[in-house]
Amino acid sequence: MNAVTHKFSVAQAGATMSPQRVIAAYLEEIRSECLRYLRTPSFLLPTLLFPTVFYLMFGIFLGHANGPDAPRFFLAAYGTFGVMAPGLFGFGVSLAMERDNGLMTLKRALPMPPAAYLLGKMVMALMVAAVVIVLLLVMAIVLAHVPLSPGQVVTTFFTCVFGVLPFCAMGLFVGSLIKGQGAPGVINLIYLPMAFLSGLWFPLSILPKFLQQLGPVWPSYHLNQLALEAVGLEHGEALTHVAVLAIYTVFFTVVAARRLRRYG
């Protein structure tokens, strides 16, 4: 069977699936993706522990020494830092490895909706992001005694959870470019400098002027501004930050999808 006939057969099989089978295929891919990451503690534990341990040290133990608003500031900052990882590593590293070991080729050959693979990873990233921000909110309220209203809690939760999407798109793009063995190193070279230059570890105002000007380049900067507004520390251009994050998400998704269609 040549490649054209093979692609036609897969597309035809997907087209003839009943709506119930299509929904079942999406749900099964979501279930298997989430289960796979639950069985991968090398991904899950660092993703959950890094932001919570950092918040415990700098936002709670040392937070009040840096001013009364420090625990609130670091809640937004480490919330942003925490939800970056599921998108960048969950998409970037896993996609690169799955391309190398042939799993992507196998999945493309299966009679399943093409978007089921991406949706499964996206739901996994959203769920991990939700766990991260819930842990941080509980620590902020119970341990740091940050006075958050119910509205602020809900807004912070949804801001951080859905803020994972542009990082999913970035991870998808990076994973479409690099080999599996080099993926963790490349993602870390993006993840850590981006967090530093976005003002997640300390306010941008203490950095040199030229580094401050680089802040708005990164999606993490815009998500952090939304998170700061959600916890009551910033007011202003929320729609601008949302628009920038949406542009990042659409751009990287489209570019990555084109590359995957061309090169697999």
Provide the sign of the torsion angle of the four alpha carbons 110, 114, 119, 124, taken in this order. positive
Strand, coil or helix: what is 18?
coil
Using pLDDT thresholds of 50, 70 and 90, give the confidence band for residue 36. Answer: confident
Q: Which residues of 95-131 are buried (b: 16+ CB within 10 A; e: fewer)?
A: bbbbbeeeebeeebeeebbeebbbbbbbbbbbbbbbb
Average pLDDT score over the chain? 83
Ramachandran sector of residue 127 (left: φ over 0; alpha: ψ -120 to 50; beta: rest): alpha
Percent of the chain residues topping a pLDDT of 90 = 39
pLDDT at 60: 87
Regarding predicted confidence, which is higher, 247 or 116?
Answer: 247
| Residue 72, Cβ density class (10 Å: 0-12 exposed, 13-18 middle, ≥19 buried) | buried
pLDDT at 160: 94
Q: For residue 180, give the nearest of 253, 95, 252, 258 by alpha carbon.
A: 95
Using pLDDT thresholds of 50, 70 and 90, give the confidence band for residue 122. Answer: confident
Question: Domain spans of the chain?
Answer: 3-263
pLDDT at 14: 47
Are residues 133 and 227 in contact, defined by beta-carbon separation less than 8 angstroms? no
Q: Is the pLDDT of residue 74 over 70?
A: yes
Q: Is the pLDDT of residue 10 over 60?
A: no
Sequence-distant (6+) residues with CB within 8 A of 75 are 55, 59, 136, 137, 140, 144, 146, 156, 227, 231
Average pLDDT over residues 66-93: 88
Regarding predicted confidence, which is higher, 201 or 129?
Answer: 129
Per-residue pLDDT tens digits for 210-252: 888 888 999 999 999 999 999 988 777 889 999 999 999 999 9
Using pLDDT thresholds of 50, 70 and 90, give the confidence band for residue 16. Answer: low
pTM of the entire predicted model: 0.85
